[in-house]
């Protein structure tokens, strides 16, 4: 299965969130099978955010309209609605 660039970004972000980078079980195909809804949600969120918000900008005005963004929301951020579709992250042991 050929993944889009956005799907590959979403998979990487989710792998980092779950602390499974380097774990061979969590291949891109496995991630698409097990977490397709979360991947799609993250891609949709990111595309929507990128279309209206420039990275690092907290608010913008145009004429009489003004928009203020939540300070912690950027494209490719795991939001609460994506977290609800994922298991809890694995604990990373330091050693």
Q: Output DSSP code: residue 86.
A: S
Q: Distance (Å, rounded) from C-alpha 73 to C-alpha 48? A: 11
| 68 φ/ψ angles, rounded to the nearest 5 degrees | -115, 130
Mean pLDDT of 59-67: 79
Tokens in use for 83?
């977290």
Confidence at residue 54, expressed as pLDDT on a 0 to 100 scale: 64
- 23 three-state secondary structure: coil
Can you give the residue ranges of every domain in the chain?
5-83
Mean pLDDT of 74-92: 92
Residue 7: CB atoms within 10 Å: 19
Q: Distance (Å, rounded) from C-alpha 33 to C-alpha 63? A: 46
Confidence at residue 68, expressed as pLDDT on a 0 to 100 scale: 72
Q: Is the pTM of this model over 0.85?
A: no
pLDDT digits (tens, 9 = 90+) for 27-62: 999 999 999 999 999 999 999 887 776 666 667 778
* Residue whose C-alpha is closest to residue 73's, from 51, 58, 89: 58
**Strand partners of residue 66:** 61
- 60 three-state secondary structure: strand
């Amino acid at each position: 299965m050929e993944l889009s660039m956005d799907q590959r970004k979403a998979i990487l972000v989710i792998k980092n969130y779950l602390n499974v980078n380097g774990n061979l079980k969590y291949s891109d195909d496995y991630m698409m099978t097990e977490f397709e809804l979360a991947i799609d949600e993250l891609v949709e969120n990111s595309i929507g955010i990128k279309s209206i918000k420039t990275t690092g900008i907290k608010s913008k005005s145009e004429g009489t309209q003004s928009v203020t963004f939540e300070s912690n929301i950027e494209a490719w951020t795991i939001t609460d609605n994506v977290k609800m579709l994922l298991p809890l992250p694995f604990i990373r042991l330091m050693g």
